[in-house]
Amino acid sequence: MNSLNDNVVTPRREETRVAIIGGGVAGLTLATLLRKSGVDCVVLERRDRAYVEQRQRAGVVEARGVDMFERWGLADQLLAGPVATTIDYRVNGVGRVFDAAAEGRKPSRFCTQQMLVNNLLHQLIDVMAGDVRFEVTGVTVRNDEESRPSVGFCDQGGAHELECDYIVGCDGDRGVSRASIPDGALTRYSYEFGYAWLAALVEAPVLGHAIMAVSDHGFVGQLPRGPQRSRYYLQCALSDGPEDWPDERLWDEIRLRLGDDSIANVKVHEKFFVPLRSVVYSPMRYRSLFLAGDVAHLVPPASAKGMNLALFDVDILAQALAGALQRDDTAGLDDYSDTCLRRVWNYQDFAVWMTDTMHDAGDPAQHGTFRQMTARARLGQLFSSPTAARLHTEYQLGLN
Ligand SMILES: Cc1cc2nc3c(=O)[nH]c(=O)nc-3n(C[C@H](O)[C@H](O)[C@H](O)COP(=O)(O)OP(=O)(O)OC[C@H]3O[C@@H](n4cnc5c(N)ncnc54)[C@H](O)[C@@H]3O)c2cc1C
């Protein structure tokens, strides 16, 4: 007769120095930097490799990110795409091109997140023989004072218990790492803007400059997503869904908001809706668990900073982990949260500036005609005040 214990699966015990939960841009970059530093790590990703490879999101690696990859000796392997310095800020169809170039500084690059992630996967797995486990399920975090930290998970080979020195949560806003932290240990700060963006990936490149357009009918932006494609973003109601936005309406609104009747309807590859919100969790550490990327902070996409903040976090964290594990120096880990949060709040402020300015200046139904005019004046300052232009350039390049 079988005893009850016959059904209990003993997890296979494994060891590494750093267990990374989530193989998005934060987790893969951190693992690549740790491998480069000679620190053993394992990435646990719930999706399969093909899914991670095709997920399309951000479009620009800011100048600070370019510098960072150069410093790590990885820019040639990881970055691709043309320089990204100009933005056409339009108001009711009238464009003015802002040039976010600074003397003596490298420019930002139009390197899509998908391109970067594909290059990271190739570099980490195929070149550096890094350990990335795809399609893992049931990830659990053990991070108490009684035992060594560990991460439990299952894959096709069964159940595993991965013991480590440190755990890094890079599993985005809905992952398990932050959820494992006891209530009350972190403070959540958040702000809801009250509207959403419809994001539409289309089979048409940006002709000329990236566009951020204010109009009386609402915001529209067009940003490059590779040589053949671009993504349009249109301000819409939080309650809107695909049934509200058939392709015909999408193209009519794009033409109306850009004030350009010559734009033709082309193939739309995907449409999805993004509620505009800002979120920060503080601190970005609990005991031996560190948070990096979207799991710790979300910025509205008008700022184009989410991926770039994630890159900053893991740059700081990779150096701090190497210091702790190779030189027994934990100062970097102790400072990690404060160092990142200082920058996160700067860029939350920039994201609020961008989001409020681009939307308040448009449809007066947003916040009334008075706020419409002050937001347009604020946008105008970028072209009349060298001081305003310089600060905007610093933010665009990621220097703050
Ligand atoms: C429409 C849109 C446009 C954007 N545009 C820009 C832009 O122009 N510029 C910019 O800088 N940023 C932009 N962003 C933000 C940027 O995409 C994110 O900030 C970035 O993806 C954050 O990286 P991450 O690795 O923290 O999270 P993610 O990329 O979300 O990766 C998290 C990973 O964790 C995995 N995971 C989740 N749960 C588990 C689990 N339980 N177990 C194991 N794995 C798990 C997920 O499958 C995923 O692979 C945009 C975002 C959106 C949605």
Q: Are 252 and 139 in contact (CB under 8 A)?
A: no
Q: How far is the CA of 172 from the centre of ligand 1 (A)?
A: 6
Beta strand pairing call for 41-44 and 131-133:
parallel
DSSP state of 179: G
CA–CA separation, 274 vs 300, rounded Å? 9
Place of tokens 């609020």: 352
Q: How far is the CA of 294 from the centre of ligand 1 (A)?
A: 6
Q: How far is the CA of 260 from the centre of ligand 1 (A)?
A: 33
CA–CA separation, 71 vs 230, rounded Å? 30
Closest ligand 1 atom, residue 305 Cα: 11
CA–CA separation, 273 vs 236, rounded Å? 9
Answer whether 398 contacts ligand 1 (Cβ < 6 A): no
What is the arrangement of strands in the sheet containing 94-99, beginning at the earlier edge strand? 94-99, 86-91, 210-214, 220-224, 230-236, 187-202, 268-282, 297-298
The distance of Cα 387 from the centroid of its chain, to the nearest Å, equals: 28
Q: Which of 29, 18, 324, 326 is nearest to 151 (CA)?
A: 18
Establish how many alpha carbons lie within 13 A of residue 215's alpha carbon, considering only the half-sphere containing its beta carbon: 22
- Give the length of the chain: 400
Answer whether 293 contacts ligand 1 (Cβ < 6 A): yes
Answer whether 57 contacts ligand 1 (Cβ < 6 A): yes
- The H or E element that residue 77 is part of is helix 75-78
Place of tokens 């706020």: 371
Q: How far is the CA of 211 from the centre of ligand 1 (A)?
A: 23
pLDDT score, position 22: 98
Answer whether 363 contacts ligand 1 (Cβ < 6 A): no
Answer whether 231 contacts ligand 1 (Cβ < 6 A): no
Count Cβ atoms below 10 Å from residue 392 Cβ, excluding itself.
19
Q: How far is the CA of 385 from the centre of ligand 1 (A)?
A: 35
Protein residue with its CA nearest to atom 20 in ligand 1:
307
Answer whether 301 contacts ligand 1 (Cβ < 6 A): yes
- The H or E element that residue 189 is part of is strand 187-202
Q: How far is the CA of 330 from the centre of ligand 1 (A)?
A: 28
Q: Which residues of the chain have pLDDT under 50?
A: 1-6
pLDDT score, position 7: 56
Q: How far is the CA of 168 from the centre of ligand 1 (A)?
A: 15
CA–CA separation, 118 vs 147, rounded Å? 36
CA–CA separation, 178 vs 335, rounded Å? 19
Q: Nearest-5° angle of CA 354, CA 357, CA 363?
A: 130
What type of residue is 367? H
Tokens of 331: 């100062």
Answer whether 221 contacts ligand 1 (Cβ < 6 A): no
Q: How far is the CA of 392 from the centre of ligand 1 (A)?
A: 25
| pLDDT one-digit tens code per residue, 152-162 | 999 999 999 99
Q: Which of 101, 97, 71 is nearest to 84 (CA)?
A: 101
Count Cβ atoms below 10 Å from residue 261 Cβ, excluding itself.
7
Percentage helix, strand, coil for the chain under 3-state DSSP, each rounded to 5: 40, 25, 35
CA–CA separation, 326 vs 328, rounded Å? 6
pLDDT score, position 275: 97
pLDDT score, position 8: 64
Answer whether 196 contacts ligand 1 (Cβ < 6 A): no
Q: Which of 48, 42, 54 is nearest to 129 (CA)?
A: 42
Maximum pairwise Cα distance, the chain: 85
Tokens of 230: 């671009």
Contacts of 364 (CB under 8 A, 6+ apart): 216, 372
pLDDT score, position 2: 42
Q: Are 111 and 83 in contact (CB under 8 A)?
A: no
Closest ligand 1 atom, residue 23 Cα: 49
Answer whether 117 contacts ligand 1 (Cβ < 6 A): no
Count Cβ atoms below 10 Å from residue 94 Cβ, excluding itself.
10
Tokens of 319: 């150096």
294, 320, 43, 173: CA torsion to nearest 10:
-10
Q: How far is the CA of 171 from the centre of ligand 1 (A)?
A: 8
| pLDDT one-digit tens code per residue, 322-373 | 999 999 999 999 999 999 999 999 999 999 999 999 999 999 998 999 999 9
